[in-house]
């Protein structure tokens, strides 16, 4: 179903003795949607994932994953959810095929299904040539790919990925992000936990920002930028000329001018000043580009937690 809610948490809470790890959070994830969960260490992200997987019991509230209660029906959830932790565990002495065949048999797949899905999954993650090699010879990046292949073999409705690119090099990271996008194209909902904000912004439809066990902010990056950075306009200008910064700073409605590069300026404005800026600069400068700046998740994250620290 196109816009079905496949993960739903309502008032989900986890307390360890005197520590409130997750504090009455509400969260929904729809099919074919990638949702990022962000926050500093200890903010409740991993504990939330463990409750959604049925690996730890909520103190209060409830969760529903793929239509099932993770606590009361954990096997049904595990059949429909693929989980990739930050450190993937495989048997080093077994081949890639034997590792994945073992977990597939536990999930109830027939030998024929295993062989067909294994071949398809390894092709999608770029490991077709090493399917019969021992996993002990694999690099960290290859192990992460194999972990994703294990998820693909299940044909899951949901994939939960916890820091999947933490130790990958830049090239491998970009390839892995492409594989995550492909999961969405398959109709799989993805819940992605990561500290790499630029990557989250690249692949996620929505973001939930955790702080002290609560979801402090939720929405698209544009929504979060509006909430945290304000409702003003940020304009990027590419221009070659003399005294550009001073002329921009002197305009009515300009709040701040930042020099982003030799010929690139970022202007915070109270309203859309693009026509006025073009008229100001055109006569004496070479204006090559003027556009609204894409809001940065890094800037949103930094500004939010700066404000939290100042308030404290």
pLDDT in tens, the chain (312 residues): 457 999 999 999 999 999 999 999 999 999 999 999 999 999 999 999 999 999 999 999 999 999 999 999 998 999 899 999 887 889 999 999 999 999 999 888 899 999 999 999 999 999 999 999 999 999 988 999 999 999 999 999 999 999 998 878 888 899 999 999 999 999 999 999 999 999 999 999 999 999 999 999 999 988 888 888 776 678 999 999 999 999 999 999 998 898 999 999 999 888 889 999 999 998 889 999 999 887 789 888 988 998 888 887
Query: What is the DSSP-derived secondary structure letter of residue 296?
Result: P
Query: Which string of DSSP letters, residue by residue, matches 239-286?
Result: EE-SSHHHHHHTSTTEEEEEEEETTEEEEEESS--HHHHHHHHTTTSE
pTM of structure: 0.83
Is 252 exposed, middle or buried (CB count within 10 Å of its CB: 0-12, 13-18, 19+)? exposed
Instruction: Tell me the C-alpha distance between 37 and 50, whole Å.
Output: 14
Residues ≥6 apart with Cβ < 8 Å to 190: 33, 34, 35, 158, 159, 160, 161, 180, 183, 184
The CB density around residue 42, as the number of other CB atoms within 10 Å, is 13
Task: Enumerate the H helices of the chain as residue ranges.
Answer: 45-52, 74-80, 96-106, 111-124, 140-153, 170-185, 197-203, 221-229, 244-249, 274-281, 297-311
* Measured CA angle at 82 (ends 90, 121), to 5 deg: 70
Helical (H) or strand (E) element with 67: none
Domains of the chain: 5-219 (3.40.50.300), 227-298 (3.30.70.100)
């Amino acid at each position: 179903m196109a816009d079905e809610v496949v993960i739903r948490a309502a008032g989900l809470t986890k307390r360890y003795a005197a520590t409130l790890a997750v504090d009455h959070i509400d969260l929904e994830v729809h099919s074919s949607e990638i949702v990022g969960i962000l926050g500093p260490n200890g903010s409740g992200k991993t504990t939330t994932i463990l409750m959604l997987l049925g690996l730890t019991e909520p103190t209060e509230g409830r969760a529903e994953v793929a239509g099932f209660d993770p606590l009361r029906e954990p096997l049904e959830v595990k059949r429909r959810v693929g989980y990739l932790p930050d450190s993937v565990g495989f048997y080093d002495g077994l081949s890639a095929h034997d590792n994945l065949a073992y977990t597939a048999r536990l999930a109830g797949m027939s030998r024929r299904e295993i062989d067909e899905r294994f071949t398809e999954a390894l092709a999608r993650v770029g490991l077709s040539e090493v399917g019969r090699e021992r996993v002990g010879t694999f690099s960290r990046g290859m192990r992460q790919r194999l972990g994703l292949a294990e998820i693909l073999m299940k044909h899951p409705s949901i994939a939960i990925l916890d820091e999947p690119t933490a130790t990958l090099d830049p090239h491998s990271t970009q390839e892995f992000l492409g594989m995550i996008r492909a999961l969405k194209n398959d109709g799989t909902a993805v819940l992605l936990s990561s500290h790499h904000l630029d990557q989250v912004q690249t692949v996620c439809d929505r973001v939930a920002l955790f702080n002290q066990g609560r979801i402090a902010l939720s929405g698209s990056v544009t929504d979060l930028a509006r909430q945290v950075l304000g409702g003003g306009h940020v304009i990027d200008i590419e221009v070659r000329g003399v005294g550009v910064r001073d002329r921009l700073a002197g305009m009515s409605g300009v709040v701040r001018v930042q020099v982003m590069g030799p010929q690139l300026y970022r202007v915070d404005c109270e309203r859309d000043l693009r026509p006025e800026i073009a008229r100001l600069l055109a006569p004496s400068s070479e204006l090559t580009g003027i556009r609204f700046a894409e809001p940065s998740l890094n800037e949103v994250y930094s500004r939010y937690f700066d404000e939290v620290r100042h308030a404290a």
